[in-house]
Amino acid sequence: MLTLVPTPIGNIGDISLRAIEALSGADTLLCEDTRVTKKLIHILKERYDTSFKSEQNFISLHSHNEKEFIEKLSPSFFEQNVIYVSDAGMPGISDPGQALVKYCQHNGVKYDVLPGANALLTAFVASGFVETKMLFWGFLPHKGKDRDASLQGALNSGFTTILYESPHRLDKLLNELSYQDSSRKIFLAKELTKKYQKYYFGTADEIRQKVDANLRGEWVVVIEAAATQNSSAISQNDILELDLPKKVQAKLISKITGENTKACYERLLNH
């Protein structure tokens, strides 16, 4: 059968007994990065004195070769204990894994998914936003209109929305959030479960004042749900593209975002 096994997102102590049992009994381990998985197994052997099968097969399976690998699979491959692990956290959450599950469903292969460490749920609870409905947005596109449209969707989803962001683009994201909705509260979690874990809460501008110059690390961004859910298909960018006076643009934007009209007008003048 196939078992998807979550691994710690930083603190090795978050490994579960079921995960250790699955890893130690695996015949073949499909790994997002075999080096990362072998390092994890070495730590488990050293720290927890865990016994593993003597001859385990490690196969690299990541986003670049996943489609090709699955196309060549035979159901007989799973007549052994097959494990899939991504580098950290839950497989299938902004990591490979879902295509393997779909393959098992289509081919009658038995599979299981173990619960475990997960950055988005940890950050959602830590954010303190009491809205129980939440939406996972994953990574934004890197640039251009696709990024603008995706960010608009996240801001106006009507739910507490969770993003992952690269440290190389975090400052850019804070600038974008400040421009799009300067009053929106956000929560940032850096290096969850690791030694240098940090939480930041406030508006984008407030957080920029708190965050130190070193942005390296894994970041999760939780965006508070908009005060007024936007049921309109029109976005702020759509309004800005219209040939209208800025005062009129500000009034329209305030209607769909709930932002103060005067503050919006001043923001447009300064842009």
For 118-176, what is each residue's pLDDT tens digit?
Answer: 999 999 999 999 877 899 999 999 888 889 889 988 998 889 999 999 999 999 999 99
Instruction: State residue 212's pLDDT score.
Output: 78
User: Residues 11-63: pLDDT tens digits?
Assistant: 999 999 999 999 999 999 999 999 999 999 999 999 988 899 989 999 999 99
Cβ-proximal residues to 97 (8 Å cutoff; 6+ apart), any chain? 4, 84, 86, 90, 91
Find, among 117, 87, 103, 89, the residue nearest to 2 by Cα: 103
pLDDT at 257 over 90: no
Mean pLDDT of 3-15: 95
Instruction: State residue 231's pLDDT score.
Output: 52
Find, among 157, 170, 131, 165, the residue nearest to 235 by Cα: 157
Instruction: State residue 232's pLDDT score.
Output: 54
Cβ-proximal residues to 192 (8 Å cutoff; 6+ apart), any chain? 9, 10, 119, 122, 123, 218, 220
Instruction: State residue 21's pLDDT score.
Output: 95
User: Residues 77-94: pLDDT tens digits?
Assistant: 999 999 999 999 999 998
Specify the pTM: 0.79
